[in-house]
Amino acid sequence: MTERPFPLRFYESTVASGNAYKVRLLMAQLGITCEVIALDILAQPSQSRTAEFLAKNPNGRIPVLELEDGTFLAESNAILFYLADGSAFMPSAAVERAQVLQWMFFEQYSHEPYIAVMKSWRFWGDLSQKRPEEIALWQTRGQAALNVMDTHLRKRSFFVGERYSIADIALYAYTHTADLAGFDLVSTPAVRAWLDRVAAQPDHVLIANGPGSAGFQDHRQPG
Ligand SMILES: N[C@@H](CCC(=O)N[C@@H](CS)C(=O)NCC(=O)O)C(=O)O
């Protein structure tokens, strides 16, 4: 990696956040350790909405990475992009870097808003308060994202350039628990095979073993 301000503190959540997990997974694979501060985002109001935290991220959400020069980086995929720059987790060819962004934007627009939100409703929100039409729409849109991934992965091992990259990390975070959120992974065999490939990468860490694991039990995994 080239010289750059190093991570000093990582703000994440006391409950399992896939967005925070992306960063925790990449930091483990890059061998980066820093102070971790877990906020209670289920508190009313969330600890990410205090004036002190809004000064770090005006959008009031975790994850946030504080760098040694005082910079605060928000948005999980922007943090991945910063940390991976110059490493094996970021392709060097311009078109492949753009494809990494392509899949990370897909994740934030077509995948995470449905799959992560359904997970949050099921684990920490009140699913019964949601209208059936709303749940059905979220189900349809989340499943459509999984189908797009499956089509892409039928001819490839990883999302970009036949190599594990931050595009895979960004998409793995909420996909690997999508079945717990009520989505069907049985009909997406290429996604399931890719999930196994991602989990087999060196220095992989589990979502359920981090500081942000309280309240979330993935019974298929230890911890
Ligand atoms: N697009 C953002 C989403 C961040 C996000 O939604 N964070 C949630 C936890 S996963 C949060 O901080 N929720 C608390 C709140 O909104 O007050 C990212 O990728 O980092």
Q: Which residue has the tokens 């001819």?
A: 155
Helix (H, G, I), strand (E, B) or coil at 47: helix
Output the pLDDT for position 212.
56
Domain ranges of the chain: 94-202
| pTM of the complete model | 0.95
Q: CB–CB of 43/103 below 8 Å? A: no
pLDDT at residue 126, rounded to an integer: 83
At 6 the three-state DSSP class reads: coil
- State the CB neighbour count (10 A cutoff) for residue 125: 14
- The residue with tokens 């009520």 is 182
Longest dimension (CA), the chain: 51
pLDDT 10s digit of each residue in the chain, 223 long?
A: 458 999 999 999 999 999 999 999 999 999 999 999 999 999 999 999 999 999 999 999 999 999 999 999 999 999 999 999 999 999 999 999 999 999 999 999 999 999 999 999 998 888 989 999 999 999 999 999 999 999 999 999 999 999 999 999 999 999 999 999 999 999 999 999 999 999 999 999 999 855 555 555 554 443 3
Q: Which atom of ligand 1 is nearest to the CA of 18?
A: 10
Report pLDDT for 210.
56
The pLDDT value recorded for residue 186 is: 97
CA of 39 to the centre of ligand 1 (A): 12
DSSP type of residue 110: I
The distance from CA 74 to its chain's CA centroid, rounded to whole angstroms, is 13
The CA 59 to ligand 1 mean position distance, Å, reads 9
Strand ranges for the chain from DSSP E: 7-13, 35-39, 64-67, 72-74
Residue nearest to atom 12 of ligand 1 (CA): 61
The pLDDT assigned to 175 comes to: 98
Structure tokens at 201: 């990468």
**Quick one: tokens of 143?**
């499943």
CB 19 within 8 A of CB 107: no
Contact between residue 208 and residue 202 where contact means Cβ atoms under 8 Å apart: no
Return the residue whose CA atom lies nearest to atom 15 of ligand 1.
61
Token pair recorded at residue 205: 């860490």
Query: Of 192, 111, 193, nearest to 148 (Cα)?
Result: 111
Task: Kindly report the CATH number that applies to the domain delimited by 94-202.
Answer: 1.20.1050.10
Query: Would you state the pLDDT for residue 3?
Result: 81
Residue from 47, 61, 117 whose mutation best tests the ligand 1 pocket (most atoms within 8 A of CB): 61
Q: Which residue among 19, 64, 111, 213 has the greatest number of ligand 1 atoms within 8 angstroms of its CB, and so is best to mutate?
A: 19
Q: What is the rounded distance in angstroms from the CA atom of residue 223 to the CA atom of residue 219? A: 9
